[in-house]
Amino acid sequence: MKRRQFLQTTTAVLVLCASQAYADPMTDAKAVVDKYATPVTKWDGPTTGPKAQTGKTIVVLAGDLKNGGILGVSNGVEEAAKTIGWQVKVLDGAGSIGGRTAAFGQAMALKPDGIIIDGFDAVEQAPALEEAKAAKIPLVAWHAGPTIGPDDKNGLFANVSTDAMEVSKAAADWAFVDAKGKPGVIIFTDSTYAIAIAKADRMKQEIERLGGKVLEYVDTPIAETSQRMPQLTTSLLQKYGDNWTHSLAINDLYFDFMGPSLASAGKGGTDAPINVAAGDGSQSAYERIRAGQYQKVTVAEPLNLQGWQLVDELNRAFSGEKWSGYLSPLHVVTSDNIQSDGGPKNSFDPDNGYRNEYKKLWAK
């Protein structure tokens, strides 16, 4: 929106300059891919912060632990909490609004010092958020909406994420480059989540800006991928045939259930349609990329690191300080670089020393 407003209010000369910046879409797209495909070795997170607040008990409200991203963040929280000396209770919302509502009620009954929302829209649980706010329980979140950092409207001290729009752009750019500038893309998203729609819209915008074609924009619930994706994949193959060169999904989970249908249609593991995920870098995605089986790219988030960041943000909330301002890195994972940054363990775990950096902060 900001860029469109800028273009509308600048002179014709500036508009011309802006268009010239995209005169070579392939070069532009390759530059983005190369930027995010390199190893992450430098710590660019906080170097100052409060010492550890001791004796805290926190609850993690996981949207759905079957989702590899949510599970990865939850594991990171547990690892970091053990280091800082806190007790953690993880409650699984099991992929449904009712399940998350029940989990939130259970969390409030436990009277924790802090709550972490892990992988679902904050607005979905607005009454519970108000209850937590009234009880003066600090709330931090992972992927609870499109706002990164403090979200006063929803009562969040901080919402932790990579730059979701950059994740989406990187995924779309990779597909454009791989298709040699002529991709026919189907985008998979879930309108249950505002962040998912924002990511899908960004991918569509980027593909079309570069000159590619979006064949279809598919809205299907991520919690129901196991039931829906096999038949949906078959139907889309029948509809688009070889025009479908690439899939872009807002999460790896969509590709967990496409393989058998693609195989039944005579598609090999590296044949089109080529699957590219704009998040989150699940274990199964790494395994598919390494084996060359129905996924070539995931734009991964540092899930374990983000779990540590969530604990640090809660520690700042307990201490009466501001959020850290940290925007965690993203990583374009391919078969060419899968051995770096935690890849052998099937995750994007940056080799930037983040564990020791957080330990140093908390030990002050």
- Is 320 in contact with 364 (CB distance < 8 Å)? no
pLDDT at 146: 83
Residue among 92, 69, 72 at smallest CA distance from 253: 69
**pLDDT band, residue 147 (cuts 50/70/90):** confident
**DSSP string across 72-127:** HHHHHHHHHHHHHT-EEEEEE-TTSHHHHHHHHHHHHHH--SEEEEESS-GGGGHH
pLDDT band at 17 (very low <50, low <70, confident <90, very high): very low
Residues 153, 131 contacting (CB under 8 angstroms): no
Look at residue 73 in the predicted model and tell me its pLDDT: 96
Question: Does residue 16 register a pLDDT over 60?
Answer: no
d(CA 109, CA 130): 15
Backbone angles phi, psi at 60, to 5 degrees: -100, 120
pLDDT (0 to 100) of residue 180:
97
DSSP state of 323: P
Asked if residue 248 has pLDDT above 60, the reply is: yes
Q: Which of 79, 76, 246, 235 is nearest to 173 (CA)?
A: 246
Averaged pLDDT for residues 273-302: 95
pLDDT at position 288 over 60:
yes
Task: Lowest mean pLDDT of 21-25, 63-67, 84-88, 338-342, name the range.
Answer: 21-25
* Average confidence score pLDDT of the chain: 92
Residue 40: pLDDT above 60? yes
How many Cα atoms within 13 Å fall on the side-chain side of residue 109?
7
E strands, the chain, where?
Answer: 57-62, 87-92, 114-118, 139-142, 149-151, 156-160, 184-189, 213-219, 246-249, 274-277, 297-300, 331-333
Dihedral of CA 185/189/194/195: which sign? negative
Stretch 58-77: mean pLDDT, rounded? Answer: 94
What is the per-residue burial (b if ≥16 Cβ within 10 Å, else e) of 43-57?
A: eebbeebbebbeebe
Q: Which of 160, 127, 108 is nearest to 304 (CA)?
A: 160
Q: What is the mean pLDDT of residues 125-152?
A: 94
Tokens of 23: 């005169």
The mean pLDDT value for 132-159 works out to 94
Residue with the bigger pLDDT between 297 and 8: it is: 297
**Is residue 279 very low, low, confident or very high in pLDDT (cuts 50, 70, 90)?**
confident
Task: Please give the Cα distance from 69 to 277 (Å, whole number).
Answer: 12
pLDDT at 23: 61
- Residues 6 or more apart in contact with residue 215 via CB below 8 angstroms: 184, 185, 186, 240, 243, 244
Q: State the pLDDT at residue 204.
A: 98
- pLDDT beyond 50 at 14: no
pLDDT at 4 over 90: no
8 A C-beta contact, residue 304 and residue 280: no
Supply the pLDDT for residue 364: 74
Gyration radius from the chain CA atoms: 21
In the structure encoding, which two tokens stand for residue 290, read together?
Answer: 């390494």
**Do 241 and 212 touch, CB atoms closer than 8 A?**
no
Mean per-residue pLDDT for 55-79? 95
Residue 83's pLDDT is 96
At 149-194, the pLDDT tens digits run: 999 989 999 999 999 999 999 999 999 999 999 999 999 999 988 8
Task: State yes or no: pLDDT of 10 exceeds 50.
Answer: no
* Amino acid 303: pLDDT: 95
Q: Which of 13-22, 191-200, 316-325 is the most confident on average?
A: 316-325
Q: Name the nearest CA neighbour of 281 among 351, 329, 333.
A: 333
